[in-house]
Amino acid sequence: MTAACRSLVLRWGPVILIMEIIFLASATPSTEMLDFGVIDLLVKKGGHFTVYWLLALACLRGMGDTPQGRWLVVGWCLLYAISDEVHQSFVSGRNAAVVDVMIDMTGVLFAVWLYHHFKRVQHMVNAGM
């Protein structure tokens, strides 16, 4: 494997892996989904937030922290969240929910904000401020 190919895999492999995890989770029929009892709603909605938070961080890592990169990551994650809900609507016992996209995007926006501010603080520390 060439250095360029290896770099590409290291930068974008995590994005593809997380997208695959989201796809497989959405393809699970409702009868096969785990039930977490009293905290079921919290675990499942928390999962939406967390997995899209991770997806955004992976995308930012692959793309870099620039204003254009941040907007591209937000747009890409929004499109993926919407397509994920559409995909889920074709799975037995599952449906698409706008609120899930909103939760997904809350995770994405938090990740973008956190990543940007962490990089800014890191830059200030490296500059000796």
The chain-wide mean pLDDT, for the chain, equals: 93
Residue-wise pLDDT for 35-84, tens only, equals 999 999 999 999 999 999 999 999 999 987 788 999 999 999 999 999 99
Q: For 119, how many CA atoms within 13 A lie in the half-sphere containing its CB? A: 14
Confidence of residue 129 (pLDDT cuts 50, 70, 90): low
Report the number of secondary-structure helices (H) and strands (E) in the chain.
4, 0
Question: Which pLDDT value is given to residue 98?
Answer: 97
The pLDDT value recorded for residue 66 is 86
What sign does the CA torsion over 64, 65, 67, 71 have? positive
| Host domain of residue 86 | 3-126
Question: What's the total number of domains in the chain?
Answer: 1
The pLDDT assigned to 28 comes to 96
Write down the pTM of the prediction. 0.90
Percent of the chain scored above 70 by pLDDT?
Answer: 99
Q: Could you tell me which residues come within 8 angstroms of residue 25 by beta carbon, excluding any fewer than 6 positions away?
A: 47, 51
Span of 17-26, 73-82, 109-118 with lowest mean pLDDT: 109-118
Per-residue pLDDT band at 4 (split at 50, 70, 90):
confident
**pLDDT given at position 65:** 74
Name residue, tokens 């793309």. Answer: 63
